[in-house]
Amino acid sequence: MLGVTFISFLLMVYFGPDKTYELLGKNPTEEQIREVRHELGYDRPFLVRYGDYLRELVTFDLGLSDSNGEPVAAILARTLPVSLALVLPGFVIGNLLGLALGLLAAWYRGKWLDKLVMSASVVGMSISFIVIIIGLQILLCTPYGLNLFPVRGWQVDGPGSYLYYVTVPTLALVLVTLGYNTRFYRAVMAEEIERDHIRTLRAYGASPAEQLFKHVLKNSLVPVLTRIMFSIPFVVISGSLLLESYFGIPGIGLVTFNAITSGDQPILKAVVGLTGILFVVALMINDMLYSLVDPRIARP
């Protein structure tokens, strides 16, 4: 955790973007440049700034945005729910669909269905996120395609408008993750299905559903959950960064992107710290899940 904050602080803040010139008036003097740098705290020693950062993170006193003076905590509180609402459906559907397809492929391993699913997933893996986003936009949001959904924006005030704005980003997210997810889940399931006790079950004539749900899924819960847990911080930050900057959605990704391009360090510091925390939390939850799930894996 300390490492994450240290390296990210070093890179994002110490060597990071500089807001001085954005805050200067026209025809500034050297003295005014020094003044602004002083106001922004750029002239303080590295360790002092880093110490302040740690204190801010621990006390959750994240300061005010350099761009618009809003408290960073308020910005996060406003944008995080938007990002979650944006990526959650895609994340859930992508994983469930991947799980289902992976299971299907593993079950019919070597049959044509398996080959079809696996070929499709390789195709899916080979399309760049950007291409998917632009392609979907052409197909669904413009007069050159179906023109059903908005090109951009996020004016959600009910389930209807939510679906209206979230559909295209969700589809993009599902498409880009599905290939990877399917392959991963197939590999996990295939290993599980090959295990002796499943074979035994099969030999004893247990119904396929019983085999699948009672044993295969249950036993592969650990790797599946691990993957899901660890991808959460990344999907929330990285996925939303692209989706939100492309679709103009006021979530944490767009805020981060704007902070990068305008040098708004208080926001960058908070986002990096937050992901570090998320990661550690994911790690802890994962450990907990292990201890919860593990004893139940009874090996015959």
Partner 1 sequence: MLKIKILLILLVPLMAGGCGQPPATGDVSPAKIYRHAMDGAPGSLDPAQAASIYANFVVVNIYDTLYRYKYLARPYQLQPNLAAAMPEISEDGLEVTIRLRQGVHFINDPAFEDGTGREIKAHDFVYSIKRHFDPVTRAQGAWLWQQRIEGLDRWKAEGSDYDLEVSGLRALDDYTVQIRLTRPFPQLIHTLTQGFAAIVPREAVEKYGQMLASHPVGSGPFMLTSRDSVRVVMVRNPHYRKEPFDLADEGFDHAIHEAWGLQKLQGKSPPFLDQLEIEFINEGAARWNAFSAGEVDFIKVPVSQFDSILSRREPPQLKPELAERFHFEASSESGFIYTNFNMADERIGYHPDPGQDRRNQALRCAMVKAFDWTRSNETFFYKIGRVFPGVLTPAVPEYDAAGDTSYIQRDLEGARQLLAENGWNEETLPVLEYGFPNGVTERQSFEQFRNFMTDAGYPADKIRPLIFATYGDYQRAYSAGKVPLINSSWTMDYPDAENLVQLYYGPNASPGTNSANYNNPEYNRLYEASIAMHESPERTAIYRQMNQLLMEDCASITGISRTLLFMWNKDFAMKPDRSFLGGYFMRFVDLAESLNDAP
Partner 2 sequence: MMRETWQRLKSDPYGLSGLIVVSVFFLIASCVWSGLLGQGWYEVSGTRWEGISAEHWFGTNLIGQDILQRTLFGTATAFEVGLTVTICSTLLGTVMGALSGWYNHSWLDEIILWLKGVLDAIPFYLFAAAVAFALQGSPWAMHVAMIVTFWTTTARIIRGEVIRIKQRGFIEAARAIGLPGLKTVFRHVLPNTFHLLLVQASIVFVAAINTEVILSFLGLGIQDGVSWGLMLAESSQEVLAGHFGNFLAAGTALFLLLMGFNLLADALQDALDSRRIVR
227 vs 86, 217, 235, CA distance in Å?
20, 14, 12
54 touches partner 1 (CB under 8 A):
no
Buried b (16+ CB within 10 A) or exposed e, 8-32: bbeebbeebeebbeebeeeeeeeee
- For partner 1, the binding residue among 1, 7, 10, 96 (CB under 8 A) is 96
271 touches partner 2 (CB under 8 A):
yes
Q: Smallest distance from the beta carbon of 10 to partner 1, in angstroms?
A: 17
Q: Smallest distance from the beta carbon of 231 to partner 2, in angstroms?
A: 11
Say which entry of partner 1, partner 2, none residue 238 contacts (CB below 5 to 8 A, set by partner kind).
Answer: partner 2
76 vs 78: CA distance, rounded Å: 5
Strand partners, 71: 64
Closest CA to 279 of 232, 240, 223: 232
213 touches partner 2 (CB under 8 A):
no
**Residue nearer to partner 2 on the CB measure, 186 or 215:** 186
Residue 93 · residue 177 · CB < 8 Å: no
Residue whose pair of structure tokens reads 């139940």 in the numeric block = 296
Phi then psi for residue 44, to 5 deg, are -85, 155
**Residue nearer to partner 2 on the CB measure, 8 or 167:** 8
Beta strands in the chain (DSSP E): none
Helix (H) or strand (E) holding 216: none
Point out which residues bind partner 1 (CB under 8 A). 17-28, 30, 32-33, 35-36, 38-39, 64, 67-71, 78-79, 81-82, 84-85, 88-89, 92-93, 96, 100, 141-142, 150-159, 161-163, 248-250, 254-255, 258, 260-263
Point out which residues bind partner 2 (CB under 8 A). 3-4, 7-8, 11-12, 15-17, 110, 114-115, 118-119, 122-123, 125-131, 134-135, 137-138, 142, 144, 151, 233-234, 237-238, 241-242, 245-246, 256-257, 260-261, 271-272, 275-276, 279-280
